[in-house]
Amino acid sequence: MKPTDIETAVGIALALRAQAARTGHRRLLLLQGDADWGRGAAHAIVNAIGQPQNRWIGTCGGTDSLPPSKAAALLGGECDVLIIDAHGGFDADALGAAAGTLRGGGLLFLLTPALGAWPTMPDPETERIAVYPFGAADVGGRFIARLGRLLAASPAVVRCTAEEPGTNPYELLRLSSESPGQSPTAWQDAQNGQRPLSPLPTDPATADQQRAIDAVHKVAAGRARRPLVLSSDRGRGKSAALGIAAGQLLADPARRIIVTAPRKTAAESVFHHAEAVDPDAAHRLRFVAPDALLADRPPAELLLVDEAAGIPAPLLERMLVYYGRIVFATTVHGYEGTGRGFDVRFRGVLDRITPGWHALRLLTPIRWSADDLLEQFIDDALLLTAEPAPDELVTARMQQSLNADDADRLVADQLDRDQLAGDDALLRQVVGLLVLGHYQTRPADLRHLLDGPNMQVSVLRDGDCVLATALTAHEGRLPEELLAPIYDGQRRPRGHLLPQTLSAHTGLYEAPRLGWTRIVRIAVHPAARGRGLGTRLVQALAARSRAEDCDLLGASFGATPELLRFWRRCGLLPVQLGSRRNAASGAYSAVVLSRLSDAGGLFAGHARRQLLPRLQVLLAGPLSQVDAAVIAELLYGAPGTEATLDSGDRRALLSFAGSARGFDAVLPVLHRLTTSALPRALAANALTDDQAAVLIACVLQHRDWADVGDTLHLSGQRELLGLLRSAAGALLVSLGAPTFQSVRE
């Protein structure tokens, strides 16, 4: 390339930076074409600008560059120039994480191949999508093709092309400065002092922030169990508001405040702003990781939970139980795409545990100007603001279905992903539902959805209105030579979660040989829940998978009683529970499955028969802290052996149930009775929930009685023992003990 090519790019960048500085918007300069040209242009531009605070994401940015996998480390920081080099692979998560650190007036340089050729070029990032036996060449280019179309059309983007100059970039600059949404006056007013661009941390930048600070003070001083939920999109200053409020509250030396977050770096902004308010007081502000917080329960008058959507919901629920005054702060449309799902699901938990909770939404950005063009582009490219169909539309469609033959209205389809990538309205509905159904959806999941070689996207819809959606993956059918290494834990071929889990962890050697359809995610529109649509979609998936000669339909998920009941209604029964909490969900992972073929039926029957003997051993060890309600759902109807109770066993049990014999004396026989009779008694609804829970916790898990009493809200050991006696009696009745009633009398 001629030196003037680089010089031209430098001139364009300097003009674009001056324009962005006037308006407070952030802009994207696309350097597309040869990798060496793009990198050379980026380095030259950075040198010409001077010494701004810049960040380089990629492999060729020098000693200060970050690999894309480390981009999340930038969260909480700020920069003036951000360079993302996609020639070594495009990481959607890195773009989403890093873009929010760019200040108003800043530039994002995106280095890419020529847009027309990019979707067909090798990309190292596709190795994360290329499940065995597929290679990078088998991964689709739909995500990149869609991104290229948006880059070519967005008013936030100015394009510099090495090989084909096309339109004069200076003309693009002139046109973009006239684009709707630009508001130079607002930013210039801020520069003139009406609103500081970089406000002192002790001085709220917006009225939204001040309201948030006041609300935190109200939680700290008000009645207990009235938590506050602060929510906003990125760049609205909610973490700063937490820090300012904490710094002010810590003026009282007796007050203890704890901060928790998914990782300590995510809370750095809180500590920075607290320290700016009062450096001495800020030393008393303490960070405790969520798992340590719940294990040790350190005392605090106020708990601040930053980026709450990144913390598993079961952990957040336990925080509500243990701490009386809590503020949750979460990003609604962040790079992880988690906040919207958090809002929908956690609202029910708050209503149940702390019905006096209240919410506050921050709307005004402080890092950049309102109507920022780059924010809109990132949201569109990564579908961070994707939403399902409006509730009102879904409610109306469901009402029409009730008044007509819904078999004609509701259609289950497997979508053509080429068409899906080009239909943004449909894609937004699908992604919006998946975000609601799973609280840790990332931009990389969008690429996987569109391009994964073993993935399928299905919907249940009424016309153009998506009521439910599911993401599925084909797994298994692995060659014979891999079965032993998988069983021995020596090989983990990418993309075969269910067969590998059941082989390596449950000892089911044949699992990888069979053909599986795994339901990766499934979501039903909130306005259409409770009408059997999830079950209907699963039935359609089963029928399609059976036609494709699959043997088994299955799913793996963080086990909760509600989810286990849902899958049971769909015909998928549990066969495995992991022995450690899943880092993402905070729950123990369960595997459920349903037969689709004769071979699948034999396998599923064998797997079901193994569940009870495994749980019988593990519940007293690695599974001793699993919620008893989860274990009850796993045991529900599980096949097992009949209770072998002789006359002496029955006499001992009847004596215990009749309030004579002690618990320790009868524990061995009560354990045998519980493991053999409880599954059938649960299926027959022969026990109350508390009776089932106390048997599981005290007899099978050997948990501390005080802990069990607290969990079940019992007044003490006397009441707990009475509950155990009644539960034992109910089990005996379920077995048809003829003399039980007379003994009680």
Per run of 10 residues, the mean pLDDT along the chain (length 745 residues) is 66 90 92 91 90 81 74 76 94 90 93 94 88 91 97 92 54 42 40 41 78 96 94 88 95 94 86 90 89 92 91 87 94 60 76 93 88 93 92 89 66 96 97 82 91 97 95 97 96 96 96 98 93 96 97 95 96 96 79 98 96 95 95 94 84 92 95 94 96 97 94 92 96 74 40
Helix (H) or strand (E) holding 663: helix 663-683
| Phi/psi of residue 410, nearest 5 degrees | -90, 125
**55, β-bridge pairs:** 82
Tokens of residue 725, six digits: 């006696």
| In contact, 277 and 248? CB cutoff 8 Å | yes
- The 3-class secondary structure across 588-615, one letter per residue, is EEEEEEEECCHHHHHHHHHHHHHHHHHH
Neighbours of 671 (CB within 10 A): 16
Burial class of residue 472 in the structure, from the number of CB atoms within 10 Å of its CB (0-12 exposed, 13-18 middle, 19+ buried): buried
Burial class of residue 2 in the structure, from the number of CB atoms within 10 Å of its CB (0-12 exposed, 13-18 middle, 19+ buried): exposed
| In contact, 366 and 235? CB cutoff 8 Å | yes
Which stretches of 307-405 are DSSP H helices? 313-322, 339-353, 373-382, 391-402
User: Cis link prior to 133 (omega < 30° from 0)?
Assistant: yes
Query: Could you give the strand order of the β-sheet that contains 157-161, starting from the edge strand earlier in sequence?
Result: 54-57, 79-85, 102-112, 27-32, 157-161
Rounded to two decimals, the pTM is 0.87
Q: What's the confidence (pLDDT) of residue 583?
A: 67
| Phi/psi of residue 388, nearest 5 degrees | -70, 180
DSSP string over 122-178: --GGGGGT--TT--GGGS--HHHHHHHHHHHH-TTEEEEESS---S-HHHHHHHHHT
Domains with residue ranges and CATH for the chain:
3-188 (3.40.50.11040), 207-362 (3.40.50.300), 391-622 (3.40.630.30), 647-744 (no CATH)
Q: Are strands 588-595 and 552-558 parallel, antiparallel or unpaired?
A: antiparallel
| In contact, 90 and 125? CB cutoff 8 Å | yes
Amino acid 466 reads V
Q: How far apart are CA 561 and CA 579, in angstroms?
A: 17
Q: How far apart are CA 588 and CA 332, in angstroms?
A: 26
Amino acid 155 reads P
Separation in Å, CA 266 to CA 239, 240, 261:
9, 12, 6
Query: Could you give the strand order of the β-sheet that contains 286-287, starting from the edge strand earlier in sequence?
Result: 286-287, 257-260, 302-305, 326-331, 228-232, 358-362
